[in-house]
Amino acid sequence: MKTSFKTGLSFGLTSGVITTLGLMVGLHSGTHSRTVVVGGIVTIAVADALSDALGIHIAEESRNNGVVSEIWESTIATFAAKFLIAMTFVAPVLLLPLGEAMVVSVVWGLMLLVGLSYFLALAQQIPAWKVIAEHAVIGMSVIAITHYVGGWIHSALG
């Protein structure tokens, strides 16, 4: 796979999982509203995917050594990966009771991170458990922090 696609896909997948789960967990703990959680997911799928794609685009341009077509490949791959990954979290929220949907979503997101981490470790020829542990701890930290932030906002403003 071309480096430009790897860059976009790995960034988009990681950002799609972490950002979407953080938003979902925070919104759930703050509102317990299916409508708010779905609205947040769809909004972040569009707005943050566009933002991240532009961020990758500008970062690649700033390196001053990229081929224009490769810069656009990274941009498009970032948007597509971020948008599609974020949208996968809508199904559990629509199909399951909200509490169960949150658990399923966290498991799904962590599985995606573990899978990507495993393939990254293989490509770099380093022990997979180190990469998986690092990324899983970061992902779970985001989930825990946003859960408590959402609860704090609810108690402070609710």
Instruction: Report the candidate in 89, 27, 22, 86 with the shortest Cα–Cα distance to residue 53.
Output: 86
H or E stretch covering 98? helix 98-124
**Closest Cα partner for 99 from 151, 24, 11, 4?**
24
Total structural domains within the chain? 1
pLDDT digits (tens, 9 = 90+) for 48-81: 999 999 999 999 899 877 788 888 999 999 999 9
pTM recorded for the entire structure: 0.90
**pLDDT at 2 (0 to 100):** 82
Q: What is the pLDDT of residue 135?
A: 94
Reported as a single tens digit per residue, the pLDDT across 98-152 is 999 999 999 999 999 999 999 999 999 999 999 999 999 999 999 999 999 999 9
More confident residue, 42 or 65: 42
Q: Is the pLDDT of residue 158 over 80?
A: no
Spatial contact of 16 and 82, defined as CB atoms under 8 Å apart: yes
Q: What angle do CA 63, 69, 74 make, to 5 degrees?
A: 65
Q: What's the domain range around 33?
A: 3-157
Tokens for 151, please give them: 């609860």
